[in-house]
């Protein structure tokens, strides 16, 4: 287990059921986003640590894949108990390590507990099907079989829930995992999961976590791709990283499942309930200070109501409290790193320099960037083309439903989207025309259900969450048996 040193904890990595120091003995520092003070020191893993973790996972796989569904479910339920017991503690770590507000941090813990609890029931889903056959006397079935070791790349944003989501499906499907958490949230996105799985009694080697210093992720990825035991690369991350991993996966014939970012549109039709539209837009745009892949990035509003919407949207945005994420009243906390602040600010300034109108925001103090709304943003600037992880949203005015759809489909991203309308049927008719993995009618872009097949299309990745995701981590094997003797042509 991790050991405390004064106010700053030191954490080892976890492999084969043991907490280990890095071979080099080196630690790297994790900083609090709000004040840039050192929060923790964590084992700086690399190639050797990744090899140890992969070997442990491979060793544990045969026994785990043969474990009964009842035993797997028991361990999942035990993990739920621990998550609930440690709810406040984990939420505080999340707020400290990632800058998540306390409300979002506690929300994550409740969602984690509900997700693990529901996943316990996935153990009893059918593992195959009876197949039709044209051959008399032949009995034919398709059986799903776990693959082996799954390498999970977990993110710093929504660190706890997204990391559990990356781990749960492959483990429930009978695989073992090596988790490589983001260097910006190694505790929330990895080591806390290992603590809980260890206490719950998961067999040694089923869950392993390798941490690394900034800039050292490549060494660990190299081991994953070089290892024959690693069969799946499971990424929750950005498009740039995904392209690098997908290329290497193709060269080594490893499967990939990728939940990537989004440039998510919120369409507001002219018959909408205005107050509801403003509340929905505010939540979707600025929840977790815009650092969720599901956040609203573009608001497409019809001209008839545009002026009223903008007036009320700007007014409401200006009331959002910002500052220390440990303060229960805070809505806008800090961005994850100084580099993240610079990226958002550079893109906002570029847009304004090229003619965009800044309606509110565009300033920051420390790493807290004020919620920002822009209109008339040129299509050739970064803010209009690329996912920007921060509290900056574009508002675009259109005339018709057709123009709204065309605008929503302008980018190659396709994660989530929303349509707000008084006439639900009108919105529902538009929904299939939106090129996104998720279309919400009269709900925000930030919307998820544990059992639903959440995931993106096009540059927002492939693969789905929920019970449907089990198939991403299993082979379908055809087994047939003849009850008599086959006749052959020679």
| Domain CATH number, residue 394 | 3.40.309.10
Between 1 and 271, the higher pLDDT residue: 271
Residue 99 has pLDDT above 70, yes or no: yes
Q: Which residue has the tokens 């084992």?
A: 43
**166 and 94, same structural domain?**
yes
Residue 4 has pLDDT above 60, yes or no: no
- Domain-embedded: residue 362: yes
- Domain-embedded: residue 85: yes
pTM of the model: 0.92
**208 and 302, same structural domain?**
no
**399 and 320, same structural domain?**
yes
- Domain-embedded: residue 488: no
Q: Which residue has the tokens 């209109």?
A: 375
Q: Which of 220, 266, 228, 265 is nearest to 245 (CA)?
A: 220
The active-site residue out of 117, 183, 195, 259 is 259
Q: Which residue has the tokens 């996105």?
A: 189
- The rounded mean pLDDT for the chain is 94
> pLDDT of 45-68, one tens digit each?
999 999 999 999 999 999 999 999
* Percent of the chain at pLDDT exceeding 70: 99
Give the pLDDT confidence score for residue 264 in this predicted structure: 95
Residue 153 has pLDDT above 80, yes or no: yes
Give the pLDDT confidence score for residue 158 in this predicted structure: 87
**383 and 283, same structural domain?**
yes
Q: Provide mean pLDDT across the span 467-488.
A: 90
**340 and 242, same structural domain?**
no
> How many domains would you assign to the chain?
2
Distance separating alpha carbons of residues 379 and 316, to the nearest angstrom = 26
Residue 118 has pLDDT above 90, yes or no: yes
347 burial type by CB count under 10 A (0-12 exposed, 13-18 middle, 19+ buried): buried
> pLDDT of 23-36, one tens digit each?
999 999 999 999 99
Retrieve residue 353's tokens: 């320099």
Tell me how crowded residue 257 is: count the other CB atoms within 10 A of its CB.
23
**215 and 312, same structural domain?**
no
Q: Provide mean pLDDT across the span 207-213.
A: 97
- Domain-embedded: residue 63: yes
Q: pLDDT grade, residue 448 (50/70/90)?
A: confident
Answer yes or no: are the C-beta atoms of 73 and 120 closer than 8 Å. Answer: yes
Give the pLDDT confidence score for residue 1 in this predicted structure: 44
Residue 224 has pLDDT above 90, yes or no: yes
For residues 157, 159, 164 and 167, what is the CA-based torsion angle, rounded to 10 degrees? 70
**CATH code: domain of residue 176:** 3.40.605.10
Answer yes or no: are the C-beta atoms of 212 and 183 closer than 8 Å. Answer: yes
- Domain-embedded: residue 446: no
Give the pLDDT confidence score for residue 178 in this predicted structure: 98
Contacts of 47 (CB under 8 A, 6+ apart): 219, 220, 222, 223
Q: pLDDT grade, residue 8 (50/70/90)?
A: confident
Give the pLDDT confidence score for residue 6 in this predicted structure: 42
Between 458 and 452, the higher pLDDT residue: 458
- Domain-embedded: residue 369: yes
Residue 249 has pLDDT above 60, yes or no: yes
**467 and 421, same structural domain?**
no
* Percent of the chain at pLDDT exceeding 90: 87
Q: Provide mean pLDDT across the span 98-126.
A: 93
Distance separating alpha carbons of residues 16 and 390, to the nearest angstrom = 38
**100 and 77, same structural domain?**
yes
Q: Provide mean pLDDT across the span 354-378.
A: 97
152 in active site: no
- Domain-embedded: residue 3: no
Q: Provide mean pLDDT across the span 427-441.
A: 94
Q: Provide mean pLDDT across the span 140-144.
A: 95
**66 and 16, same structural domain?**
yes
Q: Which domain holds residue 401?
A: 264-441
Q: pLDDT grade, residue 3 (50/70/90)?
A: very low
259 in active site: yes
**413 and 323, same structural domain?**
yes
Give the pLDDT confidence score for residue 131 in this predicted structure: 92
Give the pLDDT confidence score for residue 7 in this predicted structure: 67
Distance of CA 246 to the CA centre of its chain: 17
The active-site residue out of 293, 387, 396, 472 is 293
Contacts of 418 (CB under 8 A, 6+ apart): 264, 265, 266, 267, 280, 284, 296, 439, 440, 441, 443, 444, 445, 447
Retrieve residue 173's tokens: 């499907």
**293 and 268, same structural domain?**
yes
Residue 456 has pLDDT above 50, yes or no: yes
> pLDDT of 321-363, one tens digit each?
999 999 999 999 999 999 999 999 999 999 999 999 999 999 9
- Domain-embedded: residue 487: no
**55 and 192, same structural domain?**
yes
Give the pLDDT confidence score for residue 2 in this predicted structure: 42
Distance separating alpha carbons of residues 1 and 18, to the nearest angstrom = 8
């Amino acid at each position: 287990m991790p050991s405390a040193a004064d106010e700053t904890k030191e954490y080892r990595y976890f492999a084969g059921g043991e907490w280990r120091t890095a071979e080099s003995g080196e630690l790297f520092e994790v900083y609090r986003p709000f004040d840039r003070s050192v929060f923790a020191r964590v084992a700086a893993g690399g190639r050797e640590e990744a090899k140890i973790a992969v070997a442990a996972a491979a060793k544990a796989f045969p026994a785990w894949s043969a474990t009964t569904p009842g035993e797997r479910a028991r361990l999942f339920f035990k993990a739920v108990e621990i998550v609930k017991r440690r709810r406040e503690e984990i939420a505080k770590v999340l707020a400290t390590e990632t800058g998540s507000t306390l409300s979002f941090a506690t929300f994550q813990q409740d969602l984690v507990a509900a997700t693990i609890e529901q996943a316990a029931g996935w153990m009893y889903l059918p593992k195959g099907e009876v197949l039709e056959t044209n051959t008399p006397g032949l009995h034919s079935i398709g059986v799903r079989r776990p693959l082996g070791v799954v390498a999970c790349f977990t993110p710093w944003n929504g660190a706890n829930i997204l990391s559990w989501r990356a781990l749960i499906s492959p483990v429930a499907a009978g695989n073992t995992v090596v988790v490589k958490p983001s260097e910006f949230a190694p505790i929330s996105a990895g080591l806390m999961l290992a603590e809980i799985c260890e206490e719950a009694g998961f067999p040694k080697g089923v869950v392993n976590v390798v941490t690394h210093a900034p800039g050292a992720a490549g060494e660990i990825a190299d081991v994953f791709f070089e290892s024959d035991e690693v069969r799946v690369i499971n990424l929750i991350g950005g498009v740039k990283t995904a392209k690098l991993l997908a290329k290497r996966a193709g060269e080594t014939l490893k499967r990939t499942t990728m939940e990537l970012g989004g440039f998510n549109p919120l369409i507001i039709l002219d018959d909408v309930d205005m107050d509801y539209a403003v509340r929905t837009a505010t939540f979707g745009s600025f929840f977790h200070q815009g650092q969720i892949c599901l956040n609203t990035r573009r608001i497409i509003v019809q001209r008839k109501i545009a002026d009223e919407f903008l007036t009320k949207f700007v007014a409401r945005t200006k009331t959002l409290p910002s500052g220390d994420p440990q303060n229960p009243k805070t809505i806008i906390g800090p961005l994850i790193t100084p580099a993240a602040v610079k990226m958002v600010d550079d893109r906002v300034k570029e847009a304004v320099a090229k003619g965009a109108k800044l309606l509110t925001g565009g300033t920051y103090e420390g790493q807290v960037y004020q919620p920002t709304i822009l209109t008339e943003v040129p299509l050739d600037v970064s803010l209009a083309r690329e996912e920007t992880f921060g509290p900056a949203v574009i508002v675009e005015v259109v005339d018709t439903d057709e123009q709204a759809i065309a605008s929503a489909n302008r980018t190659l991203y396709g994660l989530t989207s929303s349509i707000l309308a008084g006439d639900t049927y009108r919105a529902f008719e538009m929904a299939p025309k939106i090129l996104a993995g998720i279309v919400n009618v009269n709900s925000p872009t930030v919307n998820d259900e544990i059992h639903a097949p959440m995931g993106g299309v096009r540059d927002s990745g492939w693969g789905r969450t929920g019970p449907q995701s089990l198939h991403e981590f299993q082979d379908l094997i055809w087994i047939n048996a003849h009850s008599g003797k086959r006749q052959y042509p020679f």
